[in-house]
Amino acid sequence: MLDIKCFDDARHRELTGKENRRSLRSARLLHEAGKLHELRFLLVPGVTDGDAELDALIDFVKSLGGDVRVRLNAFQHHGVRPKAREWAPMPEAGVGKAAARLRDAGIRNIVTPAVYLHEV
């Protein structure tokens, strides 16, 4: 398993404090070694769910070849840093839209959340 938070490097640094180059390189190396079980991609409304990010995800998965499993994770507020509490949680409909986009691009091995947490 390997998490990819964002493909845009500047935004990835904003989200995580680190560049994404190492994560992407690790994914390629793991895939080449036959050890990449799945890629996990965090969907944050207005941050990582846009066309450019989804296109980059699609291109990356296709560049790996084969049938890499893609797990779309919906951002929620539990266990996040204070700054991330300002972001909106990803609704189920947003995950469904992203999953449909990946399927339309020919990616079939997609896993979406079974449970969506809602704050009360």
Break the chain into its structural domains and give their ranges.
2-111
* CB neighbour burial string for 22-47, b if at least 16 within 10 angstroms, e if fewer: ebbeebeebbeeeebeebebbbbeeb
pLDDT-based confidence at 120, cuts 50/70/90?
very low
First CA to last CA distance, the chain: 31
Q: Quick check: 11 pLDDT over 90?
A: no
pLDDT-based confidence at 118, cuts 50/70/90?
low
Q: What angle do CA 7, 12, 81 make, to 5 degrees?
A: 135
Domain 2-111 sits in CATH 3.40.390.10: no
pLDDT tens digits, one per residue of 14-67: 878 888 898 899 999 999 999 998 999 999 999 999 999 999 999 999 999 868
pLDDT tens digits, one per residue of 73-117: 998 766 666 666 777 888 999 999 999 999 999 999 999 998 776
pTM over 0.75: yes
Distance of alpha carbon 112 from alpha carbon 100, whole angstroms? 11
